[in-house]
Amino acid sequence: MLNFKKELEKSERQREELSYELESLIKTCDEKDKLMSKTLLELKEVTENCDTFERQNTKLQYDLTLALEKLEEMTEEAERFAKESTNSQKLLADSEQKREESQIQADEIIKQWKARVKKFEKDIDRYKLDSTQMLEKNEQ
């Protein structure tokens, strides 16, 4: 029973850790989306505010290259976070399933023990009755 309790507590801790990790991943994805939006807005402002085409052309190409690399990195990172999130959700679901299975098993064990206790109580009552009857019989 103590082992079951430890397993249940362990399962609960794992579920909490996975929930925290999932929240962290979602927050990181949101921050990356904001950073991506900000980068794209900055690129648009640079394009709209060009003073001279020749002087800004090289800078814009460079900025565009950096932004695209950053966008590609962010996209890859977002895909990685999405994959990690999916894995975390699967682990959480597996953990919840194991917890449910453990609960079902515990309920069955409790049911079996209750049945045993009830049988023992009946046996005790029967032995008490038998011994009382034997005492009465011996006294006669």
Is residue 98 classed exposed, middle or buried when 0-12, 13-18 and 19+ CB atoms within 10 A define those classes?
middle
DSSP SS3 for 30: helix
Give the model's pLDDT for residue 66.
94
Q: State the pLDDT at residue 54.
A: 64
65-85 pLDDT tens trace: 999 999 999 999 999 999 999
36/75 Cα distance (integer angstroms): 9
CA distance 136 to 140: 6
Which amino acid is it at 79?
E
pLDDT of residue 43: 74
pLDDT at 52: 63
Is the Cβ–Cβ distance between 27 and 118 less than 8 Å? no
Give me the DSSP letters along 56-111.
Answer: HHHHHHHHHHHHHHHHHHHHHHHHHHHHHHHHHHHHHHHHHHHHHHHHHHHHHHHH
DSSP code of residue 51? S
Q: What is the pLDDT at residue 50?
A: 59
pTM, rounded to two decimals: 0.40
Q: In the chain, which residues have pLDDT < 70?
A: 46, 49-54, 56
